């Protein structure tokens, strides 16, 4: 078995904490394969072009780190990836900025990174690229001579073809994505959207439920719903750090029921709608005044982008208005914290929360939903209120599934969750916990890599797809 070669926009090199579940999962995948290469942006922005790589080694893993210039960071990362692809893929075409210069920068970085990574590969390697930053990078690797197994996983949604075609460069992106042997998506809906786009716009021939012939290549598309380390989260929720966090919030809210939301501050997460729904529930049920508190944790992100600054202002206004109207001397209905907390603290907060609100307008998967379930006390579990537009809704059928645009419906779901009998809470939680544990992060990575390994054995010989065609 050859090495595993991974590329992600950010890596977790030696000496840096692996805070996220994905970073840990990829590190574990490299360890299981006996080592390999992890390639990505160093996080450094330089004044002048640095064409080479900085190499670091930890055990059997080589970390290959590439810097970005200020211009590349502006066009590739802030520009095309986050001002164009992110909003379009989350069905917010109205927020997208279509800038030819930004796409040119995105294309240039994908070309440079693809050539750099191709230069690190060996003939028996398996290459796995991650996320929307690298849609064109696989094609550049093909042009640079890499003809081995090449896989890609998209962590965010893939939109309906009618939305994807809003991108002026959609045909170029699709041809780039067709350079991969295996494309993995979060949900069956995402997979179907991509396949339908190829059939309707690229004259793809459907070979079976997974494979298509397009651009003179065989491309395989599958759903691999990412999970969490459920056992780790369950253990974390009963550890001393979590207990301390639970005790701290308990001293603040006393005997009140806790409703919790934890999200990066992003317009895709539906945070204003969530606050409005909680406020509406309190308006409709004044008997709950002083008896329930909503804790929303929302660490800021991408603060230099206008849409994110506007979102923060809106959340400040909404939470302030609700608190000003109905708070009392000893009760604050909404505690809105624009900062992040460690996973051990969050585990403790999840465990004591009677209701978990995960209500994005659109999301690839949303692992907070799974973390909330894994952290629960089996004898007295909370209730998950989940958006139908979160990828997790495909697996988590016994949550209270809502439409995040329906404020009245969400308010009703929060009220129902707060009053749900213990037997029903246990029954719903057991089904959710089984789904989270059976489709965990190890299941995800092993499933993808097994399918990618199989492409070496079963796929037809493919010709490189020429860049820019």
pLDDT, tens digit, 9 for 90 and up, residues 98-135: 999 999 999 999 999 999 999 999 999 999 999 999 99
Same domain, 262 and 121: no
Q: Give the domain range for residue 237.
A: 231-438
The reported pLDDT for the residue numbered 461 is 44
The reported pLDDT for the residue numbered 465 is 54
CA distances from 233 to 30, 66, 376, 430 (A): 22, 33, 9, 16
Phi first, then psi: what are they for 59, rounded to 5°? 65, -125
> What does the alpha-carbon distance between residue 183 and residue 224 come to, in Å, rounded to a whole number?
10
Q: Under a CB-based contact definition with an 8 Å cutoff, are residues 241 and 233 in contact?
A: no
- HSE, side-chain direction, 13 A CA sphere, residue 388: 9
> What does the alpha-carbon distance between residue 301 and residue 340 come to, in Å, rounded to a whole number?
10
User: What's the pLDDT tens digit per position in 239-292?
Assistant: 999 999 999 999 999 999 999 999 999 999 999 999 999 999 999 999 999 999
The reported pLDDT for the residue numbered 462 is 46
Question: Can you give the pTM of this predicted structure?
Answer: 0.94
The reported pLDDT for the residue numbered 24 is 80
**List of the chain residues with pLDDT < 50:** 460-464, 469
The answer to whether 155 is a known catalytic residue is: yes
Report if residue 377 sits inside a domain. Answer: yes
Report if residue 465 sits inside a domain. Answer: no
Burial of 348 (0-12, 13-18, 19+ CB in 10 A): buried
Catalytic residue among 62, 125, 263, 363: 363
Catalytic residue among 108, 155, 285, 344: 155
> What does the alpha-carbon distance between residue 210 and residue 226 come to, in Å, rounded to a whole number?
18
The reported pLDDT for the residue numbered 15 is 75
Give how many domains the chain has, as a whole number: 2
Same domain, 124 and 245: no
The answer to whether 266 is a known catalytic residue is: no
Report if residue 468 sits inside a domain. Answer: no
The closest of 300, 374, 293 to 327, measured between CA atoms, is: 293
Residue 243's CATH number: 3.40.50.2000
Same domain, 63 and 156: yes
Same domain, 163 and 277: no
Same domain, 218 and 317: no
CA distances from 420 to 252, 262, 381, 413 (A): 24, 22, 11, 10
């Amino acid at each position: 078995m050859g090495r595993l070669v991974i590329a992600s926009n950010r890596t977790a090199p030696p000496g840096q904490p692996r805070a996220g579940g994905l970073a840990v999962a990829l590190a574990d995948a490299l360890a299981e394969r006996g080592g390999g290469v992890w390639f990505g942006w160093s996080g450094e922005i330089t004044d002048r072009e640095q064409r080479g790589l900085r190499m670091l080694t930890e055990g059997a893993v080589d970390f290959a780190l590439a810097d970005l210039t200020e211009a590349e960071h502006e066009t590739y990362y802030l520009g095309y990836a986050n001002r164009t692809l992110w909003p379009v893929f989350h069905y917010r075409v109205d927020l997208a900025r279509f800038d030819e210069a930004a796409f040119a920068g995105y294309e240039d970085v994908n070309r440079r990174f693809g050539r750099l990574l191709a230069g690190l590969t060996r003939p028996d390697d398996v290459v796995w690229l991650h996320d929307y930053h690298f849609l064109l990078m696989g094609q550049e690797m093909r042009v640079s001579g890499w003809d081995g197994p090449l896989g890609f996983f998209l962590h965010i949604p893939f939109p309906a073809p009618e939305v994807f075609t809003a991108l002026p460069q959609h045909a170029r992106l699709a041809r780039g994505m067709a350079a991969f042997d295996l494309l993995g998506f979060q949900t069956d809906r995402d997979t179907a959207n991509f396949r339908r786009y190829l059939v309707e716009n690229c004259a793809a021939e459907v070979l079976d439920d997974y494979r298509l012939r397009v651009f003179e290549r065989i491309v395989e598309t599958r759903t691999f719903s990412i999970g969490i380390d459920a056992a780790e989260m369950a253990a974390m929720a009963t550890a001393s750090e979590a207990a301390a966090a639970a005790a701290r919030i308990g001293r603040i809210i006393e005997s009140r029921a806790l409703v919790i939301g934890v999200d990066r501050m992003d317009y895709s997460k539906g945070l204003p709608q969530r606050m409005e729904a909680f406020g509406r529930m309190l308006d409709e049920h004044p008997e709950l005044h002083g008896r329930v508190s909503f804790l929303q944790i929302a660490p800021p992100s991408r603060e230099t982008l206008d849409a994110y600054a506007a979102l923060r202002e809106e959340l400040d206004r909404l939470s302030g208005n609700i608190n000003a109207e109905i708070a009392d001397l000893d009760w604050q209905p909404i505690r809105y914290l624009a900062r992040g907390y460690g996973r051990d603290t969050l585990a403790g907060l999840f465990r004591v929360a009677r209701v978990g609100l995960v209500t994005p307008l659109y999301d690839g998967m949303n692992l907070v939903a799974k973390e909330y379930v894994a952290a629960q006390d089996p004898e007295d579990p909370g209730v998950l209120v989940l958006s139908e537009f979160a990828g997790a809704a495909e697996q988590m059928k016994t949550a209270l599934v809502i439409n995040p645009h329906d404020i009245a419906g969400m308010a009703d779901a929060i009220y129902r969750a707060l009053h749900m009998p213990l037997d029903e809470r246990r029954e719903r939680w057991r089904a959710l916990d089984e789904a989270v544990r059976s489709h965990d992060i190890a299941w995800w990575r092993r499933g993808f890599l097994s399918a990618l390994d199989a492409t070496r054995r079963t796929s037809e010989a493919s010709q490189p797809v020429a860049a820019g065609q």
